[in-house]
Structure 1
Amino acid sequence: MRLSQLAATLLLSSIAFMPVHGLAADEADPVVATVAGVEIRASELKLAEGDLDPQFAQMPVEQRRVAALAAVIDIKTLARKAETEKLDQTEEFKTLMQFQRDRALHNAIFKASVVDPVTDADIKARYDKELAASPPEEEVSARHILLKTEEEAKAVIAELDAGKDFAELAKEKSTGPSAAQGGELGYFTKGRMVPEFEAVAFTLKAGEYAKEPVKTQFGWHVIKVEDRRETAPPEFDAISDQVRQLVMRERYGDLIKAARAEVEIDVLDPDLKTAYDTINQQK
């Protein structure tokens, strides 16, 4: 995965916890507590809820809010203590604050330029584009009877020619793991089975079995095709969230590519430069 795609994937899981602006603070974002005169607003509780351990997700809403409030009170209490000890004046803290500021701005432009503009129509258009680029494949539903020798396989074919039921013979004679299911393998497309097996399976009509046994690395197979059909595309509703993620990753890639073109980037560490350039050259 390219760096821009990885960054977009990580961002999508956290973007929902960015604060909401533009509303009257006193009305839409009331003060719920104070610590040493410093206000704690409802918006901070929302942010804190996003940082709670996943186990809190199973708790009732009010219990989550109380847990979030306790966390914010503890944070602000220790923050005041840290200020009295001048920990906010250290170079380490200043570096951290600069990074946090840059990350927050990065998230803000990601939300404004990538997440928010995506519409349902964009998602449907991308879905349709994927369908057009991926025509349906033929798939078959087959059964097989796996045997150790060619002679055993030919004897089974003779029994089939005499009218014996394929599934019953599979249960009785097959050495494969599907024997209990009557040799049923379900539907598969080309490329899913070993070449020797599928080369024969895809030549058979529905209801037809091979008149000659097929040898593979697993043994000798007697093959019957139950059905043939074209693969059905996934329903839009079933994968719309994944398509949305795809659209946002692509738009993030375009955004970061344009932004990088506007600044000078110089990786000074030779090993990091080599690795960074290699990753960004990957398609």
Structure 2
Amino acid sequence: MLRHKFLVTAALAAAIFAQAPAFSADDAVVAKVGSLEIRQSELDLAIQNLDPQLAQLPDEQKKVAALSGAIDVKLLASGAIAEGVKDTEDFKKRMAYIGDRELHNAYFRKHVIDAVTADEVKARYDKEIAGIPKQEEIHARHILVKTEDEAKAVIADLDKGKDFAAIAKEKSQDSNKDEGGDLGWFGRGRMVPEFEEAAFALEKGAYTKTPVQSQFGFHVIKLEDKRDAPPPGLDQVEDQVRQLVMRDKYVALIEKAKTDQKVEIVDEALKKGYDDVNKMREAGEAPAVPVQQ
């Protein structure tokens, strides 16, 4: 179904403006409900506000779903107009609030969402990456066997100069045996503690001289290489970084507005709560970027 917000807002808007339409000449009528018309622009808005599940439908099905919702809106809006709902104080208050919210959203889109540049995102990404502590990562292989004696026999073969990968292919019981026991690169916290402790203690090119027991069996581990873990690429975290840039822009926008306009809260309890929320926002402990309504 259409989002509840859209149904309510569209119905109220339809009731207000149905008697005084202001559509452009090329804004085609796609449907009529009694004396009310549904224009292409309204259908486009309905499509944009579809429930996320319906938004995944093919385009033609989305249009039908959106049109169905828009027709429902017009049907009840027509009844509301007939009953004089738009002249009630409650309706006027709701429309005033909705109008302010839409102005807020339009201003937010213009000065926050649409104002974010690729250079700003890249600069913020570089700043965040520079602040990430270095994390050690290792590239290791292992040979997994069932018993300690089997592991000792593997170590004896290695001591004789036999190839680690070849032994892994022949004797390892792990699923990666065909890759010569290659585990690739990994950081701390990825492996069981016993394995991790032994692997990270090795020097490059060395292998464990005693079997390492874990819940899976007995391991012989070889350290291929060490490095500082590379940071995630911008393409992997661009959405998160963009949110940070948007947050900063929104905070700056709100703070400037507060210097231009006085905010006065009469109720002391509400004032304390408002002040507490703003302190949390400044500390980054509460969302600063509003969810678009």
TM over 0.5: yes
Number of equivalent positions: 259
User: Residue 144 of structure 2 contacts residue 174 of structure 2 at CA under 8 Å; is this kept in 1?
Assistant: yes
- RMSD, aligned α-carbons: 4.2
| Structure 1 residues 74-105: Cα deviation after superposition (integer angstroms, max 9, x where no partner) | 31222011232344566765564454334323
User: Residue 134 of structure 2 contacts residue 229 of structure 2 at CA under 8 Å; is this kept in 1?
Assistant: yes
| Structure 1 residues 163-188: Cα deviation after superposition (integer angstroms, max 9, x where no partner) | 44434544665566655755332211
Q: What SS is found at the alignment partner of 2:157?
A: helix
Structure 2, unmatched stretches of 5+, are 1-21, 286-293
Matches within 5 A, 1:31-46: 32=30, 35-46=33-44
Structure 1, unmatched stretches of 5+, are 1-23
User: Residue 196 of structure 1 contacts residue 215 of structure 1 at CA under 8 Å; is this kept in 2?
Assistant: yes
| Residues 1:187 and 2:185 are matched in the alignment | yes
Identity of aligned residues (%): 52
Aligned to 2:263: 263
Looking at structure 2, the residues matched to 193 and 257 of structure 1 have their Cα atoms a distance apart, in angstroms, of 47
User: Residue 138 of structure 2 contacts residue 223 of structure 2 at CA under 8 Å; is this kept in 1?
Assistant: yes
Over 3 Å counting, the alpha-carbon distance change for 1:253 and 1:182 in structure 2 is farther
Over 3 Å counting, the alpha-carbon distance change for 1:98 and 1:179 in structure 2 is farther
User: Residue 28 of structure 2 contacts residue 40 of structure 2 at CA under 8 Å; is this kept in 1?
Assistant: yes
Looking at structure 2, the residues matched to 129 and 188 of structure 1 have their Cα atoms a distance apart, in angstroms, of 24
Higher deviation after alignment, 215-224 or 138-147: 215-224
Aligned to 2:200: 202
Aligned to 2:154: 156
Looking at structure 2, the residues matched to 203 and 116 of structure 1 have their Cα atoms a distance apart, in angstroms, of 50
Q: Output the TM-score relative to the length of structure 2.
A: 0.65
Matches within 5 A, 1:1-283: 26=24, 29-30=27-28, 32=30, 35-53=33-51, 54-55=53-54, 57-60=56-59, 64-65=62-63, 67-88=65-86, 93=91, 96-134=94-132, 137-146=135-144, 150-167=148-165, 169-170=167-168, 174=172, 182-194=180-192, 196-215=194-213, 220-256=218-254, 262-265=262-265, 268=269, 283=285
Q: CA deviation at 1:48?
A: 0.7
Structure 1 consecutive aligned stretches of length 4 or more whose deviation exceeds 6 Å: 272-275
Q: What SS is found at the alignment partner of 2:24?
A: helix
Q: CA deviation at 1:225?
A: 1.9
Higher deviation after alignment, 63-72 or 218-227: 63-72
Looking at structure 1, the residues matched to 58 and 232 of structure 2 have their Cα atoms a distance apart, in angstroms, of 34
